[in-house]
Chain A
């Protein structure tokens, strides 16, 4: 099961942000790869710049208080056991 679906009832929100892509490419990607999480378009890279993102893909973990608590660079196996354990641990934190 995908990460987004596995955690959707556990107070985890996954937002994918597509940087400088055309809407039609994003739609195609969403369909081709059956992406179920929200996929937002940052067409001018303003969001990426605001978050100091300088490589693709980059993943930010943002706590309940809005603080960035972690970053991951490059592709990861997001639905691996280890990753799920990490997210479970993060969700336990107040």
Chain B
């Protein structure tokens, strides 16, 4: 962690400190206008959301899991602290990122727990925003890749592998059914190359 962050954290967590802190994060100049469009999105500028033709397929380079994870990094969202849809979306992505990491390491049971948390966060998001959008003002003027249905589908696809590794074949059929449902929901509003990859994943798993 950066030295500056440590300094802030130590300042805010000093034992015996009796103060309430208000931390105002601002930008004071217009130098940010020199950023690329992607950077402007990342830092929440007043960038208008682009519109795309109905059948436009967003390329993998523009929309992929890594980008979604990078957009939602930051202080960990705890379920008890989540209050806005934005918090729940970030929480869902953060839990998914952790689950993916554990899956890579073959830590199946731990990964399962984080996928479960991710699904719970994203289910809360979908109660309020049931449609995927390639780019959405999730609050105020902040634009992010917003694909809760697709993230759910990807979670269930990964769970298919995980369940077969831990010998829970009884859960595979249901996971596939849920995954395909969320994939179909996502495809109703957005098409991406990433979605097509996930679709192939489900088709491939069906043949096994």
Binding site for B on A (CB under 8 A): 11-22, 25-26, 28-29, 42, 44-64, 66, 68, 73-74, 87, 90-91
**CB contact between B1 and one of A13, A25, A50, A73 (< 8 Å): that residue:** A50
What are the residues of chain B within 8 A of A90 when measuring CB–CB? 20
In this assembly, does B24 line the interface, its C-beta being within 8 Å of a C-beta of chain A? yes
**CB contact between B24 and one of A12, A17, A87 (< 8 Å): that residue:** A17
Q: Which residue of A lies closest to B44 (CB)?
A: A55
Q: Top 4 A-B pairs ranked by shortest CB distance? A: A52-B74, A25-B29, A55-B44, A29-B28
Contact B21 A13 (CB under 8 A): yes
In this assembly, does B128 line the interface, its C-beta being within 8 Å of a C-beta of chain A? no
Main secondary structure of the interface of A (DSSP, over half): mixed
Chain B 6-41, CB-CB to A under 8 Å as 1, else 0, gives 001100110001111111111111011000000000
What are the residues of chain A within 8 A of B24 when measuring CB–CB? 14-17, 57-60
Given A55-B44, A55-B139, A73-B140 in contact, is the A17-B20 Cβ separation under 8 Å?
Answer: no
Task: Number of B interface residues at 8 Å Cβ cutoff, please give it.
Answer: 38
Given A47-B4, A50-B75, A56-B44 in contact, is the A64-B25 Cβ separation under 8 Å?
Answer: no
Shortest CB distance B93–A (Å): 11
State in angstroms the CA–CA spacing of A68 and B76 once bound together: 11
What are the residues of chain B within 8 A of A66 when measuring CB–CB? 9, 12-13
What are the residues of chain A within 8 A of B43 when measuring CB–CB? 19-20, 45, 54, 56
Chain B 62-102, CB-CB to A under 8 Å as 1, else 0, gives 00000000000111010001000010001000000000000
Chain B 129-152, CB-CB to A under 8 Å as 1, else 0, gives 000000000011110100000000
Shortest CB distance A25–B (Å): 4
Contact A17 B28 (CB under 8 A): no
What are the residues of chain A within 8 A of B2 when measuring CB–CB? 44, 46-47, 50
State in angstroms the CA–CA spacing of A11 and B5 once bound together: 22
**CB contact between B77 and one of A15, A29, A52 (< 8 Å): that residue:** A52
